């Protein structure tokens, strides 16, 4: 019979604001933090979940495939991590996850929108099938908006909510429009690249709406990490890339909002 950590349902935790953790001056987690990371059964999402849990958070590991979510949780040993079935392209799945989180935790302190896909292949922009473009936006943009909207009422219950959207330097129009961009001129990623530009705009919009609240909303560029997304061709580890999102997820009160940041700080739009 599976243990509590292997179930989609986790233990009930009171949602009183008095139990909310928040970050200290150095961004260290203090007290009880409830964090959800989407697309977290592998790669950067898995590392974000691991690092947040290592820092003291109760982490809800979102995974489209419940079995893979349970496997990922088992690999994390004794860390306070629990699987949550969540397909960011499925409204029913999103609603069910939001209902479960409210019932068992009462609030959400950290939301990391990590789930994303890159399926352009080698298509030049003029030859990219529209179904690939639509599918990319469905996960990388519409999925982020859908999950954020469903969970924002719970984030508002936190005394210092954090929303982090995992983006990419490829979404920077300033960098991509350079005559000689850092990644070269022959990169054919119309769908992925433009979806991250759109995600950056989404980040700014939510930050503007929430500017008079304690909630900070930022986008994270993890860098070129070796993950399934790029066939493990990256020169950074998933753990290195995850650190950027974790830093933004644990910003102290009064930290930046409405930015996209990489390892070295803010990136140009």
Among 85, 147, 92, 82, residue whose Cα is nearest residue 114: 147
Does residue 235 carry a catalytic annotation? no
Q: What is the pLDDT of residues 145-201, one digit of tens each?
A: 999 999 999 999 999 999 999 999 899 999 989 888 776 666 789 999 999 999 999
Largest CA distance in the chain: 59
Q: What is the pLDDT of residue 32?
A: 86
Expressed as residue numbers, the domain containing 175 is 4-266
Q: Which residues contact 49 (CB under 8 A, 6 or more apart)?
A: 35, 37, 40, 59, 61, 72, 76, 81
Helices (H), the chain: 43-54, 66-75, 91-105, 130-137, 143-155, 173-176, 190-209, 238-249
In this predicted structure, what is the pLDDT of residue 226? Answer: 54
Is pLDDT above 70 for 3?
no
The overall average pLDDT reported for the chain is: 87
pLDDT cut 70: percent of the chain above it: 83
Alpha-carbon gap, residue 200 to 182, rounded angstroms = 19
Question: Is residue 224 helix, strand or coil?
Answer: coil
Pick 197 or 11 by higher pLDDT: 197
Q: Name the burial class of residue 23, with classes exposed (0-12), middle (13-18) and buried (19+) by CB atoms within 10 angstroms of its CB.
A: buried
pLDDT in tens, 224-250: 655 655 555 654 787 888 999 999 999
Q: Give the model's pLDDT for residue 180.
A: 83
Which tokens go with 39?
């697309």
CA terminus-to-terminus distance, the chain? 50
Average pLDDT (26-31) is: 49
Q: How far is CA 144 from the centre of its chain?
A: 9
Hunting for tokens 């609240």 — which residue is that?
Answer: 213
Query: What are the counts of helices (DSSP H) followed by strands (DSSP E) for the chain?
Result: 8, 10
Q: What distances in angstroms separate CA 114 from CA 12, 106, 179, 209, one per listed residue?
A: 25, 22, 30, 21
DSSP 136-181: HHIIIIIHHHHHHHHHHHHHTTSSS-EEEEE--GGG-HHHHTSSS-
Q: Has residue 21 got a pLDDT over 70?
A: no
CATH code assigned at 68: 3.40.50.720
Query: Which residue among 46, 137, 196, 235 is the active-site one?
Result: 196
| Count of structural domains, the chain | 1
Asked if the model's pLDDT at residue 265 lies above 60, the reply is yes
Predicted TM-score (pTM) above 0.75: yes
> pLDDT at residue 205 above 80?
yes
Q: Is 42 a catalytic residue?
A: no
- pLDDT in the model for residue 122: 86
Choosing from 192, 206, 224, 235, the catalytic residue is: 192
């Amino acid at each position: 019979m599976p243990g509590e950590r292997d179930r989609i349902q986790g233990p009930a935790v009171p949602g009183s604001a008095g139990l909310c953790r928040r970050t200290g001056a150095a961004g260290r987690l203090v007290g009880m933090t409830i964090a959800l990371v989407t697309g977290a059964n592998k790669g950067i999402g898995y590392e974000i979940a691991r690092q947040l849990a290592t820092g003291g958070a109760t982490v809800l590991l979102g995974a489209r495939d419940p079995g893979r979510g349970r496997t990922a949780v088992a690999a994390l040993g004794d860390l306070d991590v629990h699987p949550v079935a969540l397909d960011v392209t499925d409204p029913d799945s999103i609603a069910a996850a939001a209902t479960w989180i409210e019932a068992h935790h009462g609030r959400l302190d950290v939301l990391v929108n990590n789930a994303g896909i890159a399926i352009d292949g080698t298509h030049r922009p003029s030859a990219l099938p529209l179904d690939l473009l639509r599918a990319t936006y469905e996960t990388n943009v519409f999925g982020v908006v859908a999950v954020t909207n469903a969970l924002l009422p719970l984030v508002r219950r936190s005394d210092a909510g954090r929303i982090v959207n995992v983006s990419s330097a490829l979404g920077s129009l300033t960098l991509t429009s350079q005559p000689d961009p850092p990644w070269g001129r022959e990169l054919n990623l119309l769908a992925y690249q433009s979806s991250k530009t759109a995600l950056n705009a989404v980040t700014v919009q939510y930050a503007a709406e929430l500017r008079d609240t304690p909630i900070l909303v930022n986008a994270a560029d993890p860098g070129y990490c070796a993950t399934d997304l790029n066939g493990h061709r990256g020169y950074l580890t998933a753990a290195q890339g995850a650190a950027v999102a974790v830093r933004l997820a644990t910003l102290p009160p009064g930290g930046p909002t409405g930015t996209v940041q990489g390892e070295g700080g803010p990136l140009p739009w």
